[in-house]
Chain A
Amino acid sequence: MGFVRATAELLDTGRREIMTASFESLAHRERDGLVAFARGMLADGHEAEDAAQEALLRLYRTWGRAENPRAFLYKTIANLCIDRLRQRSVLPPAGDPSISGSGNAAAAQGETARPELDERAAAVRAAIEELPPDERAAVLLKEVERLSYAEIASTLDATVTQVTNWIHRGKNRLRRKLAPYMEEGKRP
Chain B
Amino acid sequence: MTCTETRELLVRYDDGELGGGEAAAVAEHLSGCAGCSGELSALRGAMRMVGNYLAGPKPVESAARPPAVRVARRPLAPMLAAAAALLLAGAVGWLAFRPAPAANAAEIARRALAMLETHRNVRYRIEYLLEGGKVKPAGEMIVEPGGRSLMRYTYSGIEFLIGRDGERRWTGTVSYPGDPGSFISFPAGADRDDTLLDRGRVPDFEAWIKGLKEDGSRLIVLPGENVEGRKCRVIRSAPPADFPMDASVTYWVDEDDGSIRRVESRIPGFMDLRLVLDATDVPVPEGFYSLRGHSTDKSRVVELTAEETKDPAGQ
Contact = CB atoms under 8 A, between A and B. Distances in A.
Interface of A: 1, 3-5, 7-8, 10-15, 17-28, 31, 35-37, 39-40, 45, 49, 53, 56-57, 60, 63-65, 67, 69, 106, 108-112, 120-121, 124-125, 128, 139-140, 142-144, 148-149, 164, 167-168, 171-172, 174-175, 177-179, 181-182, 185
A136 to B, nearest CB: 11
B157 to A, nearest CB: 5
21 contacts: A3-B98, A4-B216, A7-B97, A10-B86, A12-B244, A13-B79, A14-B81, A20-B73, A21-B158, A24-B71, A25-B176, A27-B68, A60-B69, A109-B56, A109-B57, A120-B49, A124-B49, A124-B52, A142-B15, A149-B17, A182-B42
Contacts of A64: 156, 269-271
B46 A3 contact: no
Nearest to A128: B50
Nearest to A49: B66
Given A4-B94, A10-B82, A65 B269 contact: yes
A17 B79 contact: yes
A171 B242 contact: no
B56 A140 contact: no
A5 B245 CA distance: 10
Contacts of B27: none
Interface in B1-50: 8, 11-12, 15, 17, 39, 42-43, 45-47, 49-50
B279 interface: no
Nearest to B154: A22
Which secondary structure dominates chain A's binding surface? helix
Nearest first, the 8 A-B pairs at minimum CB distance are A14-B83, A22-B156, A110-B60, A124-B53, A111-B57, A14-B79, A178-B46, A56-B69
A121 B54 CA distance: 9
Contacts of B269: 64-65
Given A1-B216, A139-B50, A175-B43, 8 more contacts: A10-B97, A13-B83, A14-B83, A21-B73, A49-B66, A57-B69, A171-B11, A179-B42
A40 B50 contact: yes
B128 to A, nearest CB: 9
Among A14, A149, A174, the most chain B Cβ lie within 10 Å of the Cβ of: A14
B69 A53 contact: yes
B138 interface: no
Given A7-B97, A13-B79, A168-B11, A22 B56 contact: no
Contacts of A23: 71, 156
A120 B49 CA distance: 8
B308 interface: no
Contact of A14 (B43, B49, B73, B82): B82
A148 B17 contact: yes
